[in-house]
A = this chain, B = another copy of it.
């Protein structure tokens, strides 16, 4: 169903942007794990609004509270619940919206679906819902890194027409975070910032693309057919608000190549039964037949421009009458930089579930690919 995801490492998010708060229940965390809570908080802070002058002026501390599953810093193996109180609810800003279906928002579809909705904007459609995923993803990331050495790094690859050159790849999350717009190149970042400033001044908004590179993924994750790694990653990414496109490996550009150009030649990497292989190119994006092949997983995501703008628009009110309106309230001209930790969380959550499913059935595989014997 809607708010639950994962089969073994399973999360359930809850909360509206204008209720008491938002949170997540995480099942399937191993017991006895020393949890780095500060690292979870860091990811929430990377995601929170009001980080700098470019984003929405909505300022929220987004301090997490742990309601269950932890005792003296170690996980109990039971559901771990994280809750973040909403501290900045300016519902008066939204008074007018009660009667207007804002264009390209979820106001109308929620009302048709449920027959009822909270008038204050998004409810569950708000990007605030992603807090739960980011928190859960930060737990998944700790386990994946310790057990397998997996690390996903997302970064902004374009904002509107401003593109990061294809050949620039970030080496670390720190490198990404050095940029205000989370683009791992100083000069492209500067251009992107300039673009956002302009858009903001005009009361408009912009979209862009985010790329992801996941290093350290062992071969063998993902299942044939409906749980192909690409399929599950696509589902996780397209469940992020404003995401409208997904590519794995060569993606749409790959459709222009011939098979002889697109195939990734194998070369030997490590002896064994079976031997480990590398490929000399990576148009498969680290996934073949829906299963990881040990090369870096590469993804690219499209985010549409934010629907909230400070310009007069046409729409319809709840009585069915055409109206003109000008949205007040806070407004984020570009969500891309804040979406980076959300995308990483989506990727980590997908990978840990694939990992646990594989380990459940194939312990020999785990013996071969776990990073250390120490756990």
Closest to A32 in B: B116
Q: How far is the CA of A318 from the CA of B275 in the complex (A)?
A: 7
Given A1-B223, A357-B8, CB of A230 within 8 Å of CB of B248: no
Q: Which residues of B contact A284 (CB under 8 A)?
A: 104
Cβ-defined contact, B12 with A25, below 8 A? yes
Cβ-defined contact, B79 with A14, below 8 A? yes
Q: Which residues of B contact A246 (CB under 8 A)?
A: 234, 238, 245-247
Q: Please report which residues of chain A, range 224-283, place their CB below 8 angstroms from some CB of chain B when the two chains form the complex.
A: 224-228, 230-239, 241, 243-252, 254-268, 271-272, 274-277, 279, 283
Cβ-defined contact, B206 with A258, below 8 A? yes
Cβ-defined contact, A225 with B129, below 8 A? yes
Cβ distance A111 to chain B, nearest Cβ, rounded Å: 5
Cβ-defined contact, B116 with A247, below 8 A? no
Stretch in A52-60, A166-174, A175-183, A358-366 with 4+ CB within 8 Å of B:
A358-366
- Contact of A271 (CB < 8 Å), options: B76, B117, B271, B320: B320
Q: How far is the CA of A313 from the CA of B258 in the complex (A)?
A: 14
Cβ-defined contact, A266 with B108, below 8 A? yes
- Contact of A103 (CB < 8 Å), options: B106, B265, B306: B265
- Contact of A76 (CB < 8 Å), options: B16, B28, B243: B16
Cβ distance A225 to chain B, nearest Cβ, rounded Å: 5
Cβ-defined contact, A112 with B259, below 8 A? no
Q: How far is the CA of A90 from the CA of B209 in the complex (A)?
A: 45
Closest to A13 in B: B225
Q: Please report which residues of chain A, range 15-48, place their CB below 8 angstroms from some CB of chain B when the two chains form the complex.
A: 15-16, 19-23, 25, 27-32
Given A105-B289, A234-B234, A308-B259, CB of A78 within 8 Å of CB of B123: yes
Cβ distance A203 to chain B, nearest Cβ, rounded Å: 8
- Contact of A30 (CB < 8 Å), options: B83, B160, B311, B361: B361
Asked if A77 is at the interface of the complex by the 8 Å CB criterion, the answer is yes
Q: Which residues of B contact A103 (CB under 8 A)?
A: 263-266, 279
Q: Please report which residues of chain A, range 100-147, place their CB below 8 angstroms from some CB of chain B when the two chains form the complex.
A: 101, 103-106, 108-118, 122-125, 129
- Contact of A19 (CB < 8 Å), options: B32, B68, B113, B117: B68
Cβ-defined contact, B67 with A23, below 8 A? yes
Cβ-defined contact, A16 with B68, below 8 A? yes
Q: Which residues of B contact A74 (CB under 8 A)?
A: 116
Q: Which residues of B contact A106 (CB under 8 A)?
A: 224, 288-291
Cβ-defined contact, A254 with B248, below 8 A? no
Asked if A205 is at the interface of the complex by the 8 Å CB criterion, the answer is yes
Closest to A132 in B: B225
- Contact of A116 (CB < 8 Å), options: B77, B254, B357: B77
Cβ-defined contact, B1 with A125, below 8 A? no
Q: Please report which residues of chain A, range 170-210, place their CB below 8 angstroms from some CB of chain B when the two chains form the complex.
A: 199, 204-209
- Contact of A266 (CB < 8 Å), options: B2, B101, B232, B361: B101
Cβ-defined contact, B19 with A3, below 8 A? no
Q: How far is the CA of A152 from the CA of B106 in the complex (A)?
A: 23
Closest to A26 in B: B14
Q: List 28 A-B contacts (CB under 8 A).
A: A2-B78, A15-B67, A16-B78, A23-B67, A23-B68, A30-B361, A32-B114, A71-B117, A77-B110, A101-B266, A104-B288, A106-B290, A109-B220, A109-B290, A112-B219, A112-B291, A113-B291, A114-B362, A115-B364, A230-B238, A234-B246, A245-B246, A245-B254, A247-B252, A254-B302, A259-B307, A275-B316, A360-B360
